[in-house]
Structure 1
Amino acid sequence: MYDPIRLAALVAVAEAGSITRAAERLGYTPPALSQQLAKLEREAGTALLVRHHRGARLTDAGELLVARARRVLDELEQARHELARLAGLSGGTLRVGTFPTAGTHLLPPVLSAFHRAHPDVELSVADYDPPTGVAAVAVGEVDLALTHAYHPAEPVPVPSSVGLEPVLVEELVLVTAPGHALSSDSSRLPLSGLAGQPLVSMAPELPARQEVEALLARAGATPSVLVPTPGYAVVCALVSAGLGVAVVPEMVARTAVTPVGVRPLGAGELRRTISVAFRADEVAPAADTFRALLRGAFGRAYRTPGA
């Protein structure tokens, strides 16, 4: 039985006229696509393509198989749509809440994968500063919301109708101006090493960060600039300009627009957990499918070892 992925590769080459252009369309490298085509030729027991300096053309056997392959792929696509209708994934709207860091760096590829698999479901995205996204889920403003919590921190009560599923745990790390003495060493810096350092602070009164800021203060870090709103891009820009050091989530540090030095802290006791909030008291196929995609995508990025 022929692999549908290889059949789709052959059809793409037939339409593009070259393996290179087909690879670009499918998101493969040309060598990887060539391997798929070679396997298909072995399955077929005959040559399907003739390579030439301008690209590739189908042999008679290739023409025959492409015609059949198009029918097979059309049937599979139709089956996908019919299964989506049975699962409640044909039409309707999936409303997703997020916060800036996740909305910029983690959510787009998950949204893209969901849209490719279920193009009939309309997507809506709205920003909520945590933990307000949880309340938005509870009252039905959105179907899902990405939110976060810091450790150490007092736990925030969650409505009984809302489930909260952790999808990513990341450490908080030190960011400094490029070339700063503290970032010249890649080993973990004990929190006591922050004593006397000017700190670009997320302001002690910010509820989500209160306990983290208090711990930094007890370690002897001295606030030099207060940023009372959750704006990590601004924090990293101030650090990059030499106005102090800061403690931010690793994802923020690694994706900062302005250049910063990065160093792990302590024993990893400062953390941020990103979770997805969802209504636990209703059946929602689109939301459940999206949560599964989130688990896979977030699990491959920025996860704290051993978390």
Structure 2
Amino acid sequence: MYDPTRLAALVAVSEAGSITRAAERLGYTVPALSQQLAKLEREAGTALLVRHHRGARLTGAGELLLARARRVLDEMEQARHELAQLAGLSGGRLRVGTFTTAGIHLVPPALTAFRRAHPDVDLTVRGYEPPLGVAAVAAGHVDLALTHTYEPADPVALPASVTAEPILVEELVLVTSPGHALASASSRLPLTELAGQPLISMAPTHPPRQGVESALFRAGATPAVLVETPGYALVCALVSAGLGVAVVPEMVARTAATPVGVRPLEPGDLRRTISVVHRTDESHPAADTFRALLRGAFGRSPG
């Protein structure tokens, strides 16, 4: 039986015309989406895509499966809508909290699927830089929120009324200016090779990252620019301009608005975990349904 998530990946590649653009649309990293497509090809027993210098196109077998995939996904959405009506999701509201990266790459496709299945539910989206979303859920300001934690870091206790459910774990990678010597290879770069490198730092006002940046400082990276307001778009822009190097989540690096070089690090234990937090002391069908959509679309480990 074909996995609906992989069928959705095939549809996205067909519509976007490339694996890279499809990954951006779905909130996947390119390697993760390629892995899903490779699994689908193994299930189908034949090639479904042909990659070329401008992107990717479907083979004859891919086109055949595409038509069926759209029908399957449409039927599943209709079933979700009908079940939601039975469960009382023909009205009401859903209030979602999110931080910037998730708001750009993860929330829109999940909300689109939710809207198609439950058009009568009122939607509200609010921005909270972690860990403020956790407090917003605990206080009842939103029904759920996307937040993140970094490794290494000291554990942070959650309020007793709140549960965090991890939906995506991604490695942190090095970003450099285009053509930088450190980005000239695809192999993992030992942290010790960062000794003496000017580092663009987000640590001063971003406590979740302080453990990560302490590890970078121990490896010999030298703080060169301190970014007082957390914002990866700004960090990547400064890197692209040659003001230093930075270590950012892979999703950020692959979708940077400014050109950057990217290289994985060794060891690969610098990570960011994106979780959805929700209250455990009350039932909320709309929030439960949205969490299920997030799990189905993004619930995976690195790679």
Give the shorter-chain TM-score range.
0.7 to 0.9
Q: CA deviation at 1:84?
A: 2.3
**Contact 1:174 1:265 survives alignment (8 Å):** yes
Q: TM-score, normalised by structure 1?
A: 0.73
- 2:205/2:230 contact within 8 Å kept: no
Sort the Cα spacing of 1:86 and 1:229 in 2 relative to 1 into closer, same or farther, 3 A: same
C-alpha contact 1:204 1:214 (8 A) present in aligned 2: no
The answer (yes or no) to whether the contact 2:146–2:275 under 8 Å persists in 1 is yes
Higher relative contact order (CA 8 A, sep 6+): 2
User: CA 1:38/1:109 → structure 2, altered by over 3 Å: closer, same or farther?
Assistant: closer
TM-score scaled by structure 2? Answer: 0.74
Q: Specify the SS of the correspondent of 1:167.
A: strand
Q: Deviations over 1:162-217 (max 9, x none)?
A: 11000000000000001000000111111101000011111345211111111111
1:265 maps onto 2:265 in alignment: yes
Give the partner amino acid of 2:302.
T
SS of corresponding position for 2:134: helix
Q: Secondary structure at the match of 2:130?
A: coil
What stretches of structure 1 move > 2 A for 4+ residues in a row? 29-39, 79-86, 203-206
Counterpart amino acid of residue 159 in structure 1: P
2:213 paired residue number: 213
Separation of aligned partners in 2, 1:80 and 1:220: 52
- Measured after TM superposition, the shift of residue 119 of structure 1 is 0.6
Q: Distance in 1 between matches of 2:177 and 2:296?
A: 34
Matches within 5 A, 1:105-254: 105-254=105-254
Q: Give the distance between the partners of 1:38 and 1:139, measured in 2 at CA.
A: 46
Structure 2 unaligned regions, length at least 5: 1-13, 16-57, 69-73
Relative to structure 1, the CA distance from residue 140 to residue 181 in structure 2 (aligned partners, 3 Å threshold; closer, same or farther) is same
- Counting matched residue pairs gives 241
Aligned residue number for residue 256 of structure 1: 256
1:304 matched residue in structure 2: 302
Partners in 2 of 1:180 and 1:80 — Cα distance?
A: 49
- Runs of 5+ in structure 1 lacking a partner? 1-22, 40-72
Identity of aligned residues (%): 73
Q: 1:139 to 1:32 in 2, by over 3 A?
A: farther
For residues 49-69 of structure 1, the C-alpha deviation after alignment (integer angstroms, 9 at most, x for no partner) is: xxxxxxxxxxxxxxxxxxxxx
**Distance in 1, Cα, partners of 2:95 & 2:197:** 43
Structure 1 counterpart SS, 2:171 = strand
* Structure label with greater radius of gyration: 1
| Cα deviation digits, residues 76-116 of structure 1 (max 9, x gap) | 96x87664232121101100000000000111000000100
Q: Check 1:245–1:92 CA distance in 2 against 1; reply closer, same or farther (3 A cut).
A: same
Q: Which amino acid aligns with 1:176?
A: T
